[in-house]
Every structure is written in C-alpha cells, then in structure tokens.
Amino acid sequence: MVYALGLIDTGYRYGGKNPEAGLDCSGMVSHVFGQAAGIKLAGSAADIARKGRPVDLNKLLPGDLVFFNTRKKAFSHVGIYIGDGRFVHAPNTNGRVRAESLKHGYFATHLEAARSYLD
C-alpha cells in the first residue's frame, strides 16, 4: 500500500477522516482503502475488524490490516501492514502518521489480530 506511505507525517486528529484535517487510525485506513483500492470502510477499528476476513499473523501480506489492543479493549487500534514486519498507522502519541515495527516494542506486544479486505 504505497498510498499509505505517502501519508507519513500527516497530523493526527481524533475522528479525522482526511489528510487535510488530520487522521485517526480508522480514518487513515478508511481513507487509504477508499482512495487506493476503491473499498469503502467505515466506523471504528473494531467495526472494521468485524467485517474483514481473518488472516494468520504469520502470513501477513502488504495491505492486510493489523489490529491492536491499546486501551485494554479489543481492536482499539488499526494499521496497514506494508511488508518486512512493518505497518503504517495514525497513533495519537506523537501526533503523526508513521511506520513502525510489528517485531519490536509496544506494538509487537499489543498486536492481537489481522484482517484482509483484498482478494
């Protein structure tokens, strides 16, 4: 999902659905899928997780969605897997869209599931 990489450094905004105003995690995923794949996704990270096809965490492909438990609540954060153990997301911490590792650090320990909307 090259389109997602183009959003790196976009500002964070709770409830944000477009890059001009700022994006939150589900807004970023919805925007990328709408623009790059013509797939309409809506709602919270949990809403998006409920509708996707489950993916084995050991078989992730670029474009799969990765979900995290970040607030002691299932599916409370979402990002887009870009390959090589990395994902793009819009975290509220540090307030910018960025790429991070799924193998090390905070997100490695909070990863809970993956879903696909791509064929």
| Tens digits of residue pLDDT in 3-46 | 999 999 999 999 999 999 999 999 999 999 999 999 999 999 99
Residue 81 sits at φ, ψ, to 5 deg, of -70, 135
Give tens-digit pLDDT for 71-81.
899 999 999 99
Q: What is the set of active-site residues?
A: 25, 77, 89
Q: Which domain range does residue 60 map to? A: 2-116
Output Rg (C-alpha) for the chain, integer angstroms: 13
Residue 9 sits at φ, ψ, to 5 deg, of 80, 0
Distance CA 113, CA 49 (A): 9
pTM value is 0.96
Number of domains in the chain: 1
